[in-house]
Structure 1
Amino acid sequence: MQTIEIFAWLLPVAAIVAIVAMSIRVLLEYERGVVFTLGRLQAVKGPGLILVIPVVQRMVRVDLRTRVLDVPPQDVISRDNVSVRVNAVVYYRVLDPERAIIQVEAFDQATSQLAQTTLRSVVGQHELDQMLAERDRLNADVQRILDEQTDAWGIKVSNVELKHIDLDEKMVRAIARQAEAERLRRAKIIDAEGELQAAEKLVQAGDIMARNPQSMQLRYLGTLSNIAGEKSSTIVFPLPVDMLNLLRPKE
């Protein structure tokens, strides 16, 4: 009888200890628990030690740290009808655990799907040159649209970064030819500008020499000095025009 009485006394105690053990939850500093009582929202609790009554209550654990979402490559047709594959990475975090659980089912999957559709929509509104040259602008546009739409879910999208913009081989070769043609065009323009500046300087020098005959003589002497410094077997001496005038017969 005593053994039966002992078991009868220990059984309720063990049941109570088991219920208490099952009720204990420990939430870390970056975690919150959304507690439902008989299906109704009771409160958002944590961090620390909380009690959840089994069967009667249920707790959904929510991580408040920044999450990294890798958006898979998306096939996009740009505004100038170029087919590209674009992928990105999205950084977001839960600001309101209550809305993140109640307002949307599986907020992480919902954010991923929304990021994919938004990426295709934004990138498709730009031409290929804008995608390659204005990546920061595209990042800001995608981040702003995502943040506006996920605000109702209690989620904050802090940053979006486009990782790769992949083109097919034909388009890569076409862009390379275009870049080479642009470099040749700039080189020709620079050469033409140099020739123009040299011609202008020569005209100015000619005008100065025409007004000052002595400068022409100095030019002759400089030319002779240059010729003498070279290893040449033939030297041509320029004859001043004034001497030719002296040799002409007088009328």
Structure 2
Amino acid sequence: MEIWIVILVIAAIFTAIMVYLIINTPIFTVQEQQAVIIERLGKFNRVLEPGMHFMWPFIERKRRFTQGGIEVDFVDQRERTVDLPAQTVITRDKVQLEVDSIAYYQIAEPEKSVYGVDDVIGAVNQLIRTVLRDVIGDTELEQLLSGREKINQRLKEQVSNASGDWGISIRRVELQAVTPPASYAEAMRKVSEAELTRRAAITEAEGKKDAAILEAEGEAEKINRVYKAIHDGNPNEELLRIKYLEALEKIADGNATKVFMPFPTNPGSGSGPDFSFNQAIGMAAGFDAYASGPQAPTPVPPPQQQASQTEDRTTPIVKPENEQHSGQTRPKKVVRRVVRRVPKKSSGSPEANKS
């Protein structure tokens, strides 16, 4: 009888304990973008991800810590923003500035963020302010104003290196506003205007250079094409003589009272610049005039044509008489006639014709 009483008492106690454990067993839910640190007997045990969980009573508990000055029992893993108030910094060239900055970070490893630093949010805030003073203190004002992207990159790298043991990921650190003293505002404006003027001058000079290069290339191409066309056309000496006479005609039609001829006035021998005016006219008319001295010209055989007697064909070069020009009397221009004699057509032998 006494044994049964002892057994019933033990069963009742066990049942009461089980009911107590069931009632008081902590069952909870971890929200999205959150994490919970579980300690067993005061030692880190595990990190609970989003979902429903339970922990053993008496031996396990949630780790509580301070975050942003508030004591919490979960880690917020959403991206956070640290908007730092404006602070006074001094550049390397001794210019005092007011700088406003902002940082974006996210807790990537909850365990390190809880055990690695006390109040990770406050620590990040102070770290960014310290790094900002160091980076700007090693930078000149002109570099700070013109290379803000590089400054932001340096800030991010240094903050990431310093907070590597805190379990956070620095997304970006940016300078929002840089306010120099009023005394530097006008100087900065002049510097900016001078820089814009310099860039405009460089751009204009490069444009002129490119235009000159293109013009020179076009002129060279033009010369090459003309040269190629002349050689492809295979010009003969008679064509060159005609063009030479046409040029002389244009010179004679001018208003100048004196004309310097580009060849000697006395008959010479050969062709090119050494032949005289008479030679040029004779050659253009069909005679090899003065080819070997001032002897009688040798006629060029004309094409076959019906003629009963020798005909005189004259090609006059008409020049006006004395003209009044600018109050002066222009000298008479030389009028020459070139006579080409056409021999009678005969049926005899070449020797008879020659005689």
The reply to whether residue 25 of structure 1 matches residue 56 of structure 2 is: no
How far off its partner does 1:143 sit? 0.6
The range that moved more, 42-51 or 170-179, is 170-179
- Deviations along 1:42-74, whole A, 9 cap, x unmatched? 111121111234554332311222111112222
What count of residue pairs does the alignment treat as equivalent?
203
Q: 1:192 to 1:143 in 2, by over 3 A?
A: closer
Report the Cα offset of residue 29 of structure 1. 2.6
Aligned to 1:155: 168
Structure 2 runs not aligned, ≥5 long: 1-11, 63-72, 207-254, 258-324, 331-355
* Alpha-carbon distance in structure 1 between the residues aligned to 2:202 and 2:119: 59
Give the secondary-structure state (helix, strand or coil) at the position aligned to 2:163: helix
Cα displacement string for residues 175-210 of structure 1 (whole angstroms, at most 9, x for unaligned residues): 1243345567788999999xxxxxxxxxxxxxxxxx
Q: What is the alpha-carbon distance in structure 1 between the residues aligned to residue 326 and residue 126 of structure 2?
A: 94
Q: Distance in 2 between matches of 1:105 and 1:168?
A: 37
- The alpha-carbon distance between structure 1 residues 191 and 40, as it changes in their structure 2 partners (threshold 3 A), is closer
Letter in 2 for 1:24: I
Residue in structure 2 matched with residue 138 of structure 1 by the alignment = 151
Equivalent residues in 2 for 1:124-203, closer than 5 Å: 124-180=137-193
| Structural mapping, 1:236-251, within 5 Å | 242=257, 243=325, 246=328
Equivalence for 1:201: none
> Shift of residue 11 of structure 1?
8.2
Normalized against structure 2, the TM-score is what?
0.48
Q: One-letter code of the match for 1:108?
A: I
Q: Which of 27, 45, 48 pairs up with 1:45?
A: 48
Q: Which has the larger radius of gyration?
A: 2
Residue in 1 that maps onto 2:218: none
Q: In the alignment, which residue of structure 2 is the partner of 1:200?
A: none
Amino acid at match of 2:158: I
Q: Letter of the aligned partner of 2:192 in structure 1?
A: A
Which residue does the alignment assign to 2:60?
57
2:21–2:57 Cα contact (<8 Å) kept: no
The code of the aligned residue for 2:49 comes to: G
Q: 1:77 to 1:247 in 2, by over 3 A?
A: farther
Counterpart residue identity of residue 24, structure 2: I
- Which structure is richer in relative contact order (CA contacts within 8 A, separation 6 or more)? 1
TM-score normalised to the size of structure 1? Answer: 0.66
Partner of 2:307: none
Inter-CA distance 163–54: structure 2 relative to 1 (3 Å threshold) = farther
Determine the C-alpha separation between the residues in 1 that align with 2:96 and 2:159. Answer: 24
For residue 37 of structure 2, the aligned residue among 34, 44, 60 is 34
Cα distance in 2 between the residues matched to 1:28 and 1:102: 21
Residues 168 and 53 (structure 1 numbering): CA distance in 2 closer, same or farther, change over 3 Å?
farther
2:201 and 2:256 mapped to 1: Cα distance?
A: 40
- Give the Cα–Cα distance (whole angstroms) in 2 for the partners of residues 155 and 55 of structure 1: 32
Show the counterpart of 1:226.
Answer: none
Structure 1 residues without counterparts, runs of 5 or longer: 1-7, 194-239
Alpha carbons 2:135, 2:155 under 8 Å: kept = yes
**Aligned counterparts of 2:84 and 2:90: Cα–Cα separation in 1:** 17
CA distance in 2, matches of 1:190, 1:110: 49
Structure 2 CA distance for partners of 1:82 and 1:30, relative to 1, 3 Å: same
